[in-house]
Amino acid sequence: MKVLAKMLAGLSFVIVLAACSQEPDEASAPTASATPAESAEQFIARVNTDYKDWWREVNAAEWLRATYINVDSAIVEALAHERYAAWHSAAVKEALKYEGQDVSADTRRALDLLKMSAQLVAPDDGAKRKEQAQILTDLGGMYGAGAYCRSENDCLSLPELEDIMANSLDYDELLEAWQGWHTISPPMRKKYQRFVELANEGANEFGYADMGEMWRSHYDMSADEFTAETARLWQQVEPLYEELHCHVRARLGEVYGEERIPQDGLIPAHVLGNMWAQQWSFIYELLEPYPGVSDLDVDSTLKTKNYSPQEMVRSAENFYVSLGMRHLPDTFWERSMFSKPVDRDVVCHASAWNLDGDTDLRIKMCIKQTFDELRTIYHELGHNYYQWAYNKQPMLFRDGAHGGFHEAIGDTVVLSMTPEYLAEVGLVASAEQSDEAIINRQMQQALDRIAFLPFGKLIDEWRWGVFSGAIAPEDYNKAWWELRARYQGIAPPVERTEADFDPGAKYHVPGNVSYTRYFLAHVLMFQFHRALCEEAGHEGALHACSVYGSKEAGEKFSEMLEAGASKPWQDTLERLTGAREMDATAIIDYFAPLMAYLKEQNEGRSCGW
């Protein structure tokens, strides 16, 4: 999901600055300067008050920019962000003055969160803040308005190119779409290099070696401990991914020929149904273990019954309400963007927003009648319900326990979209659960969830290297593809050079949105699901559990959501699961039937790369 405003609403927001037509009136901005006798507690109370004002102003500007991409919205966003950047920098400097003081646990946590609250900190220099503003607004605009133009009057937007990637089996057509989208990012390269320099300068002023270290310090452990933690979690799931990769490669070799899909090497990135080869569910028809067995054709139902975007969202809302949560406020339905406007450029990337830090919840999507879009809606509403649940916390605690928690909430609910649930709500005709049907469903899920795991890990690993200098600017693209080969077993479909900037073709890089949260979410969602199923009294296989309608599970879930960021994530995790450590074994438990199937299919094959 896109998280520009959502992340502001959750502390870890992106400071997306833009150039203004005039200097901001800094004298009119709220000030963070402490009074001489102000205690740490008084300082935090004042920051919480000021922060709510900034939250509303900056989110409104970001919403405008995301739903009206033009010169004027860039100026409006610029003014809000540049003013906010000055306030935030001053507030953090004041917070540093309380280092070492004996304060309450809540005050200490608030001070620490304020210090680590940004994905990006602006250098304490007005000219450099403006330069950073221009760069990041340019990068965001270049991505949002990006298109592949065959000629002046024949241009394809990203959604149109994604449709080709998802539906075509023509090798050359897929290659054209892949190459076409990747033409948008080379102009970003020099801007991104300068952005890294400015971002690191800002991080240095806050006491971090670089931006990567700052990002990794957001997890209630040291940066090095967090690096080790992500490596441990990947090792737990890597064997399942390798089995999936081996089987997918073999099937693609049958479709496109082994001369194009070598059976002892890497898979070309353009034949996996997704622009970034991050999720492979759109090639499920090539991999369906038992053709026609319990086909969960939700797409047909959505089209046959002509579900509107709002009706698809109501379906998701009803699930959360079944757990004992509230109906979304009327303003959600009045102010959200459910469809792509015909008269202007917008950022279609799905996102969930809380514009006032209280009840002004919204989503922004260009919804289509597909099961994939429906699952995305269930995911996005997880953000909204989390935002709503913790809105009684002080402002600095209105966030997830860590970034992965926020992404995991809706995905946990998606795991309860079992055949039984889909049949109960009229989205499929049958809830057949033969052994063959179970394998089919697990293959569908694995092509989304398991295929994603290495991609979710490598994007920030690339950026950690870029920020630290371990990856030099002249090696940006080389290092990108080395990591994709190492973790995903994926290769570019055509030769790439340093004239390219393929990382920039993924929104979260020019948008400066940390990606590790998505990797962690894919671990936590299964851990949460296992805990909720136990609370609901489910007996049997984990993959067969739906907590739909369980008030007991909903109550336990809500208790965790209401805590927000008020406690270390280990405490919040323990509140739901009884464990203080993230654990990917729930993934192995969930996909046990598929793992057995894959091992059988891969017998005699040369797996690995």
What's the residue count for the chain?
609
Catalytic residue at 407? Answer: yes
| pLDDT score of 226 | 95
pLDDT confidence band for 156 (50 / 70 / 90):
very high
Q: How far is residue 346 CA from its own chain's centroid? A: 19
Q: Is the pLDDT of residue 244 over 90?
A: yes
In the set 407, 437, 536, 543, the catalytic residue is 407
Distance CA(490)–CA(381), nearest Å, equals 32
What SS3 class is residue 490?
strand
Catalytic residue at 383? Answer: yes
How does DSSP assign 320-382, residue by residue?
A: HHHTTPPPPPHHHHHH-B-S--SSS----S-EEEESSSSS-EEEE----SSHHHHHHHHHHHH
Q: What are the extents of the domains in the chain?
A: 4-142
Which helix or strand (DSSP H or E) is residue 589 part of?
helix 585-590
Nearest to 607 by CA among 281, 271, 238: 238
pLDDT in tens, 201-240: 988 988 899 999 999 988 999 999 999 999 999 999 999 9
How does DSSP assign 209-248, residue by residue?
A: SSHHHHHHTTSSS-HHHHHHHHHHHHHHHHHHHHHHHHHH
| pLDDT score of 118 | 66
| pLDDT score of 15 | 33
| pLDDT score of 205 | 86
Q: Is the pLDDT of residue 352 over 50?
A: yes
Catalytic residue at 57? Answer: no
Retrieve residue 189's tokens: 């390269």
| Mean of all residue pLDDT scores within the chain | 91
Catalytic residue at 379? Answer: yes
Which helix or strand (DSSP H or E) is residue 139 part of?
helix 126-144
Cβ atoms 261, 153 nearer than 8 A: no
* Per-residue b or e along 386-410, where b marks 16 or more CB atoms closer than 10 Å to that residue's CB: bbbbbbebbbbbbbbbbbbbbbbbb
158-167 and 171-181 helices, crossing angle to 10°: 150
Q: Longest C-alpha distance within the chain, in Å?
A: 75
Alpha carbons within 13 angstroms on the beta-carbon side of residue 257 total 4
In the set 88, 402, 508, 529, the catalytic residue is 508
In the set 61, 66, 177, 350, the catalytic residue is 350
Cβ atoms 518, 452 nearer than 8 A: yes
| pLDDT score of 25 | 36
Catalytic residue at 562? Answer: no
| pLDDT score of 86 | 85
In the set 81, 379, 402, 538, the catalytic residue is 379
Q: Is the pLDDT of residue 578 over 80?
A: yes
Which carries the bigger pLDDT value, residue 21 or residue 540?
540
Cβ atoms 261, 271 nearer than 8 A: yes
Cβ atoms 330, 362 nearer than 8 A: no
Q: Is the pLDDT of residue 116 over 80?
A: no
CA distances from 17 to 104, 115, 137, 161, 490 (A): 34, 19, 6, 29, 34
pLDDT in tens, 430-487: 777 789 999 999 999 999 999 999 999 999 999 999 999 999 999 999 999 999 999 9
Place of tokens 């979304």: 328
| pLDDT score of 260 | 97
Look at phi and psi of residue 489 and say left if phi exceeds 0, alpha if psi is from -120 to 50, else beta. Answer: left
CB atoms within 10 A of CB 225: 12
Nearest to 85 by CA among 43, 40, 141, 126: 126
CB atoms within 10 A of CB 269: 23
In the set 349, 402, 538, 543, the catalytic residue is 349
Sign of CA pseudo-dihedral 428, 432, 436, 439: positive
pLDDT in tens, 11-23: 333 333 222 222 3
Distance CA(136)–CA(18), nearest Å, equals 7
Catalytic residue at 579? Answer: no
Distance CA(403)–CA(399), nearest Å, equals 8
pLDDT confidence band for 10 (50 / 70 / 90):
very low
Distance CA(14)–CA(53), nearest Å, equals 17
What SS3 class is residue 82?
helix
Nearest to 359 by CA among 324, 311, 326: 326
Nearest to 443 by CA among 275, 294, 312, 585: 294
How does DSSP assign 262-309, residue by residue?
A: -TTSPEEGGGSSSTTSS--GGGHHHH-SSTTTT---HHHHHHHTT--H
Q: How far is residue 64 CA from its own chain's centroid? A: 21
CB atoms within 10 A of CB 327: 12
* Per-residue b or e along 350-364, where b marks 16 or more CB atoms closer than 10 Å to that residue's CB: bbbbbbbbbebbbbb
In the set 245, 383, 406, 538, the catalytic residue is 383
Q: What is the DSSP letter of 31?
A: P
pLDDT in tens, 482-530: 999 999 999 999 999 999 999 999 999 999 988 999 999 999 999 999 9
| 276 Cβ contact partners less than 8 Å away, ≥ 6 residues apart | 269, 455, 505, 506
pLDDT confidence band for 550 (50 / 70 / 90):
very high
Distance CA(478)–CA(497), nearest Å, equals 7
Cβ atoms 266, 413 nearer than 8 A: no
Cβ atoms 273, 282 nearer than 8 A: yes
Question: What single letter denotes the amino acid at residue 434?
Answer: S
Catalytic residue at 171? Answer: no
Q: Is the pLDDT of residue 100 over 90?
A: no
> Which of 174-188, 203-217, 383-397, 444-458 has the lowest average pLDDT?
203-217
Catalytic residue at 518? Answer: yes
| 60 Cβ contact partners less than 8 Å away, ≥ 6 residues apart | 80, 355
In the set 518, 548, 590, 597, the catalytic residue is 518
pLDDT in tens, 30-44: 445 555 579 999 999
Q: Is the pLDDT of residue 296 over 70?
A: yes
| pLDDT score of 315 | 97
Place of tokens 């690191």: 200
Place of tokens 């992500």: 230
In the set 62, 201, 380, 535, the catalytic residue is 380
Cβ atoms 386, 399 nearer than 8 A: no
pLDDT confidence band for 271 (50 / 70 / 90):
very high
CA-based end-to-end distance of the chain: 31
Which helix or strand (DSSP H or E) is residue 491 part of?
strand 490-491
How does DSSP assign 144-172, residue by residue?
A: HT-EEEEETTEEEEHHHHHHHHHH---HH
Retrieve residue 494's tokens: 């055509």
| pLDDT score of 191 | 96
